[in-house]
Structure formats: structure tokens, C-alpha cells
Structure 1
Amino acid sequence: MGWRVDHKRRRHLYCRFINIEHLTFFIMLTQLRNIKFSKFYC
């Protein structure tokens, strides 16, 4: 139960960071996937 409370606190604190970092990380992942797929399919 303590972990859940701590997780909620972290979620609340990192809400701003997640919005920016998660987007950039997702874009990087998609770019890496595109590169891998292009290598395999080309």
C-alpha cells in the first residue's frame, strides 16, 4: 500500500516532466523503429 501512495506522489510530481520527456522518448523510439524497418525492408 505504501508503494501505491509513493507512486501516486511521484506521478503528481513528475506530471510536467512526463508530458515533455515521454513525447520526446516516443518520437525517438518511432524514429529508431523507422530506421530499423527501412534497413530490413530496403
Structure 2
Amino acid sequence: MRGTFLRNLYKSVRLASLGQMVSNTLISGLLYSDKGGALMALTDPV
């Protein structure tokens, strides 16, 4: 029972960190391709 719980916890943590890595890569890729335009729009929405 406890081993299964730990294994599932480990899997979900790995999935979460993988998702975080993918989203970070996508965000930085979008910012880089936009030459900072999206970043400027986010930080200074005027």
C-alpha cells in the first residue's frame, strides 16, 4: 500500500517537473521568436 503510494507520488512529481520544463521551453521559445515583444507586452501593458 505504502510502496504504491510512494511510486504514484514519484510519478506525479516527475510528470509535473516534465510539464514545467516543457512549458518553460515553450514560453522562452515564444519570447525569443517574438524578440521580447511578448515580454514587453506582459510587463508593460500600455
* TM-score for both structures, normalised by structure 2: 0.55
Aligned length: 31
Say which one has the larger Rg. 2
Question: What is the root-mean-square deviation in Å for CA atoms of aligned residues?
Answer: 1.7
Segments of 5+ residues of structure 2 without an aligned counterpart are 33-46
Which consecutive unaligned segments of at least 5 residues does structure 1 have? 1-11
Q: Work out which structure has the larger RCO, using CA pairs closer than 8 Å and 6 or more positions apart in sequence.
A: 2
More helix by share: 1
Is 1:24 matched up with 2:31? Answer: no
